[in-house]
Amino acid sequence: MKETVLVTGGTGFIGSHTTVELQQAGYKVVIIDNLSNSSASVVDGIEKITGIRPAFEQVDCCDFAALEGVFAKYPDISGIIHFAASKAVGESVEKPLLYYRNNLNSLINLLELMPKYNVKGIIFSSSCTVYGQPSKENLPVTEEAPIQKALSPYGNTKQINEEIIQDYIHSGAPIKSIILRYFNPIGAHPTAFIGELPNGVPMNLIPFVTQTAIGIRKQLKIFGNDYNTEDGTCIRDYIYVVDLAKAHVKAMERVLETEDSDPVEVFNIGTGRGLSTLEVVEGFEKATGVKLNWEFAPRREGDIEKVWGNVDKANKVLGWKAEAKIDDVLRSAWKWQEKLRADGIQ
Ligand code: UD1
């Protein structure tokens, strides 16, 4: 058995898939989650896949005393993967203080406790949103591209958190960190025991697509068909959540086991390929054989026209590569939606 890893937000979409991959790689996992946007039953799904039940504590990372209690209870924790955060762009515009409070305090609390409890490394969930709309010369975007002023408080919390980590480590804190900038995570575990469970009307494309396909939503709107792209719709780099989860295992191995790596490193985690919204919608129909009711609608405020990642650094340095085929990824999302229906959840 390898080291123990604390996964904050471990019952969430990316956190649950990462817990599975960590366990399958031999790590012991302790999950903490305040269940504000997920359910404790996700732990059952993880156990069904791996045969191992991760430890679970319902704790909010903003509650310093409760968080310290977790480190005291599990003294073997040597690494953290920090997913727990509020993540709805629109909501962050309406409730900025909630976002700054949740997303900044939770990281600060973790960083403060790490040296005291001998925790060596932290992997932080950042986002390609920090690049804003990269200029034409900067596409596919590398980690060196300029950071642009965030378009939402959510995006700003990602930028500020990256800076907090950099500043803390440069101050001499005895920890290491890897910052992962995700592109657009999609899909579900092939077993359909875990997946994405949006609260209310989904904001993200794939849950809206699958909910439309199954009849929960009447019609999918494709936001904007007059962008400066081949088919006029936006372009994103859609990364399979299981591939993304595996990137965290590589990052954890590097942070805990590589002596000579820099104390803070940043990696893009994507496929390196851009797909238009229309390509995804048509790809879904082709991959699943399900017809979607969709129409073009006006642009969505704040949307970036096109962004996809240069992932050479992650390929070379982490030894990680996105492997899934988009058809399989879209089928996994559909299988998950069908499972939710069969279980009477959605
Ligand atoms: C954005 C952020 C990402 C953040 C995520 C959180 C960027 C580049 N990305 O993702 O960092 O983690 O929000 O929610 O800022 N679309 C439709 N119809 C729909 C839904 C979406 O056409 O009903 C289109 C959008 O216009 C967009 C694409 O699908 O072009 C993907 O949208 P979405 O899944 O919401 O992700 P982003 O906005 O790219």
Distance CA(218)–CA(204), nearest Å, equals 16
Full pLDDT tens readout for the chain, 346 residues: 789 999 999 999 999 999 999 999 999 999 999 999 999 999 999 999 999 999 999 999 999 999 999 999 999 999 999 999 999 998 999 999 999 999 999 999 999 999 999 999 999 999 999 999 999 999 999 999 999 999 899 999 999 999 999 999 999 999 999 999 999 999 999 999 999 998 889 999 999 999 999 999 999 999 999 999 999 999 999 999 999 999 999 999 999 999 999 999 999 999 999 999 999 999 999 999 999 999 999 999 889 999 999 999 999 999 999 999 999 999 999 999 999 999 988 7
Q: Match 């991760």 to its residue by tokens.
A: 54
**φ, ψ dihedrals at 340, nearest 5°:** -60, -40
Using DSSP's 3-state secondary structure scheme, residue 18 falls into helix
Task: Please work out whether the CB of residue 303 comes within 6 Å of at least one atom of ligand 1.
Answer: yes
Ligand 1 pocket mutation, candidates 223, 225, 278, criterion most atoms within 8 A of CB: 223
Residues in the chain: 346
Both structure tokens of 44: 């059952």
CA distances from 261 to 168, 175, 274 (A): 17, 12, 30
CA-angle at 146, arms to 142 and 150, nearest 5°: 110
- Beta-bridged to residue 296, according to DSSP, are 222
CA nearest ligand 1 atom 33, residue: 204
Residue 345, pLDDT score = 87
CB 125 near ligand 1, within 6 Å = no
Predicted pLDDT at 16 = 98
The C-alpha atoms of residue 52 and residue 24 are separated, in whole angstroms, by 9
Strands 235-236 and 275-276: antiparallel
Q: How many Cα atoms occupy the beta-carbon half-sphere of 286 within 13 Å? A: 10
Helix (H) or strand (E) holding 313: helix 312-313
User: Ligand 1: does its nearest atom lie under 6 Å from the Cβ of 128?
Assistant: yes
Contact 254, 27 (CB under 8 A): no
Task: Let me know: does 153 contact 119? Beta carbons within 8 Å.
Answer: no
Query: For ligand 1, is residue 129 a contact (CB within 6 Å)?
Result: yes
Name residue, tokens 């059952």: 44
Q: At what angle do helices 205-214 and 326-342 cross, to 10 degrees?
A: 50
Q: Which residues pair with 223 in a beta bridge?
A: 297
Give the closest residue (by CA) to ligand 1 atom 15: 129
Please identify every residue annotated as catalytic: 154
- Expressed in angstroms and rounded, the spacing between residue 300 Cα and the centre of ligand 1 is 9
Q: Which ligand 1 atom is at minimum distance from the Cα of 277?
A: 29
